Chains A and B, each alone.
Chain A
Amino acid sequence: MMLIVGTIPIRDMPLTIGKVAAEVDFLIVDGRRIPCIQGTGAMIGAALATTDYLKLEAPCALLAGDIGQGKGSRDIYEYLIEKVAELSPTVLALHYWLPDMVLTRRLCEAIEKCNRRPIMIADAASMYSAKAAGRAAEFDIFTPDATEVAFLADPNATHPAYIARHLFDTDITQAPRLAEVAYQSNNAAKLLLVKGAIDYIINKGGIVATITEPDVPALEAIGGTGDTITGLVSALAYAELELPEAAIIAARANRMAGKFAHATPATKVRQVIAQFPAVFKEYLCRWSGVCFMEGGKL
Chain B
Amino acid sequence: MPFLKQKNTAFEGGGLVLFLDVHDAIQAEKVLKKAGYGVKLIAPPPELRKGCDLAVEINLVEQPGIERVLKEKDVAYVGVSPLKVGTSELLEIIKVVDFGRWVMVKVGNMKITFDKESSIIVNISGGGCPDIPYLHAELIGKSLSEAPRPKDIGFTLCALNADRALEECLALQSGGNAP
Contact of B108 among A67, A69, A147 (CB under 8 A): A147
Considering only residues 197-220 of chain A, those with a C-beta below 8 Å from chain B are 217-218, 220
Indicate the size class of the contact surface on chain A: 35 or more
User: Chain A residues with Cβ under 8 A from B111's Cβ?
Assistant: 220-221
A275 at the interface (CB under 8 A from B): no
The answer on a CB contact under 8 Å between B82 and A158 is yes
User: Chain B residues with Cβ under 8 A from A218's Cβ?
Assistant: 99
In the bound complex, how far is the Cα of B96 from the Cα of A221, in angstroms?
11
State the A residues within 8 Å of B (CB).
7-9, 35, 37-41, 66-74, 96-103, 123-128, 132, 145, 147-148, 151, 154-166, 168, 170, 217-218, 220-226, 264-268
The answer on a CB contact under 8 Å between B11 and A8 is no
Scoring A37, A73, A125, A161 by chain B CB atoms within 10 A of each residue's CB, the highest score goes to A161
User: Chain B residues with Cβ under 8 A from A71's Cβ?
Assistant: 36
User: Chain B residues with Cβ under 8 A from A132's Cβ?
Assistant: 14
The answer on a CB contact under 8 Å between A125 and B89 is no
Known interface pairs A69-B155, A156-B88; A221-B130 also in contact (CB < 8 Å): no
B172 at the interface (CB under 8 A from A): no
In the bound complex, how far is the Cα of B154 from the Cα of A168, in angstroms?
24
Known interface pairs A69-B65, A162-B88, A166-B87; A266-B126 also in contact (CB < 8 Å): no
B166 at the interface (CB under 8 A from A): no
Scoring B101, B106, B127 by chain A CB atoms within 10 A of each residue's CB, the highest score goes to B127
Known interface pairs A166-B87, A266-B122; A161-B157 also in contact (CB < 8 Å): yes
User: Chain A residues with Cβ under 8 A from B155's Cβ?
Assistant: 67-70
Q: B59-73, CB under 8 A of A: which get 1 and which 0?
A: 111100100000000
B131 to chain A, nearest CB (A): 3
Known interface pairs A98-B129, A100-B59, A226-B125; A9-B137 also in contact (CB < 8 Å): yes
User: Chain A residues with Cβ under 8 A from B156's Cβ?
Assistant: 68, 98
